[in-house]
Every structure is written in structure tokens, then in C-alpha cells.
Amino acid sequence: MSNTELLKGTLSTIILRMLSEHPRLYGYELTQLVKERSGDKILIKEGSLYPALHKLEADGLVTSEEVYIGKRVRRYYKLTEPGKKATLLSIEELRGFLKTIEELILPFPGNYVPAK
Amino acid sequence: MSNTELLKGTLSTIILRMLSEHPRLYGYELTQLVKERSGDKILIKEGSLYPALHKLEADGLVTSEEVYIGKRVRRYYKLTEPGKKATLLSIEELRGFLKTIEELILPFPGNYVPAK
DNA sequence: CGTCTATGCATCACAAATCTATGTATTAAA
DNA sequence: TTTAATACATAGATTTGTGATGCATAGACG
């Protein structure tokens, strides 16, 4: 990814999130989708993506299916029912985290906001 | 810390942020400050804190000074000039990251916000 | 006086997540 | 025919944080 360190822990949530609004996605498509949706800010590397997808599948949160496009293989992923529940939890957790960090970091010279 | 994976990459920024609003802080004080300011959500572990502080010092972003309180040692840290600049950059980077993730994650069933 | 808790620093072995690099292969464009 | 894009995958290295452990002072409580 781009911001490297900061993204840690967010990858699986991002993948789940993307799968929650698309019936199915394959790896490469997912990287392009995230790239586009993030304004080229989040670039998921293959070395991160595939292990992450494999782990999600091993954990039973997604299932996959090979599809041949001509001679080329694509592996489509989709959420399982447990995966859908996990997605909701995962998003909530990430939201909570973002909120906490924002509150901790926010009042800062340069972006100073007077007390209410 | 509490959220483990999610916090990756944010620790040094949090430390810098805290030092930017206090003339000096020692390790233990820093953990208590963050704990308090985050509503007990972010609990910096000693095994994370001290290595992080040492690294910031090695990078020249903070300096430290030993102070004896009776027989007990305290090591106070404060920002250097480069550290102050690095803090601003670091905060900006973190803000950008939070914004990007939020935009990517936000529109989600349960928190659905109709298009404008 | 003894014990428990808090204060205060530090380091090591370990685990988890991601990155870089590498490998293989198809397909479309130049 | 060479390059870029598409498409998957894995191995090794790196980074970061955790848990465990160690040492020591200090205050509270009985």
C-alpha cells in the first residue's frame, strides 16, 4: 500500500468492505477498485492482497471460485454469511478506532478549533 | 495498546502529538495521559513505549534528561526543533490517512447516508 | 512490619501483518 | 516483437507491537 505503516490492520477490513457492496470480486479487480475509490492513495500490493484473501477464506469469511476467461484464471471471492457479520463488526471496530485517534490527535496548532 | 493491529504506525505520531502540547513528559506520564485522553481506549504498553521513545531520540526528534525524584529515576522527553517539524508532518499524514480510510469505508448499510 | 499496588525504567523472544522480490502465464497494444 | 496490463502465487525480510520478565522505589493498608 502507499502509507505503508498506517494501513496495518486495515487491509482485511477494506477487502470485506469492498465485497460487501459487490456480489463478487477477484483479486486484481479489488486492487483497482480500491485504487480508484481512494483517489490512488491506497495501492494494495499483490504480496499483501493474496495472503490476506487466503486468510479470509481459511477463516471462513469468504469463499472463492475459479473462473476461466479464455485460458486465463480468475479467482472470484464473495462473502459468506459469517463473513457478512464479521464485516459489520470489523467496520464498527475500525470506525471506533478512527474516532478515538481523531479525538486524540485533533486539537492541534494549525488546525486549532476553539473550545465550544 | 488495545486494538493491536490498528494502532500500528500511529504510536510515534501519538507520542509526538502529546509532546507538542506539553513542554516535557516522561514515559509513564505519557501512558497515563494517552489512557486518560482516549477514555481508556488506548493503553500504551511499556514494551511498545520505550523502544518507540528510544527510536525518536535516535532519530533526533526528541531529547531526554534524567531526573531524580528522591531515589527514583525519571527520564523526561521533549521535542527538538526537527521534532517539532516532524510532528506537523506526521499529524498531517495521519489526518490524510484517516480521511482516506473514512471515505473508503463510510457508505455502509447501517450507517447508510443517501447520496446528495 | 509485611504485603500489595502503583510508579518507573528497560529488554528479549515472539507473533502478526505487510512489503519487496520473484516466478509463471495470458493477452492486448504499439 | 517487445512492452504493458492482466492475473495468480509464494518466500524472505522488515516493521511494529505484545507479553513476559527483571529490577527498583514508594505509598497505602492492615
- Structural domains of chain A, ranges and CATH numbers in brackets: 4-104 (1.10.10.10)
Nearest to A9 among B8, B91, B102 (CB): B8
Q: In this structure, what DSSP letter does residue A25 have?
A: E
Question: Residue B37: its chain A contacts at CB < 8 A?
Answer: 103-104
Average pLDDT over residues B9-13: 92
Structure confidence at residue A78 as a pLDDT band (50, 70, 90): very high
Say whether B79 sits in a helix, a strand or coil.
Answer: strand
Q: In this structure, what DSSP letter does residue B6 have?
A: G
Q: pTM for the complete prediction?
A: 0.87
Question: From CA A27, how far away is CA B112, in angstroms rounded?
Answer: 26
How many other C-beta atoms lie within 10 A of the C-beta of residue B100?
19
Contact assessment for residue B19 and residue B49, using Cβ atoms and an 8 Å cutoff: no
Nucleic strand C within 7 A of Cβ A70: yes
User: How confident is the model at residue B112, as a pLDDT?
Assistant: 42
Question: Residue A41: its chain B contacts at CB < 8 A?
Answer: 96, 100
Average pLDDT over residues A68-95: 95
Structure confidence at residue A106 as a pLDDT band (50, 70, 90): confident
Pairing of strands B25-26, A62-69: unpaired
User: How confident is the model at residue A16, as a pLDDT?
Assistant: 97
Chain D positions with any atom < 7 A from a protein CB: 6-12, 15-22, 24-27
User: How confident is the model at residue A25, as a pLDDT?
Assistant: 98
How many other C-beta atoms lie within 10 A of the C-beta of residue A88?
14
Q: Which residue is nearest to nucleotide D10 (CA to C1')?
A: A47
Question: From CA A26, how far away is CA B61, in angstroms rounded?
Answer: 43
Q: Any residues with CB less than 8 A from the CB of A110 and at least 6 apart, and which? A: B88
Interatomic distance B42 CA / D19 C1' (Å): 17
User: How confident is the model at residue B9, as a pLDDT?
Assistant: 83
User: How confident is the model at residue B104, as a pLDDT?
Assistant: 92
User: How confident is the model at residue A49, as a pLDDT?
Assistant: 97
> Of residues 67 to 106 in chain B, which lie within 7 A of strand C by their beta carbon?
69, 72-75
Average pLDDT over residues A59-77: 96
Nearest to B6 among A97, A104, A111 (CB): A97
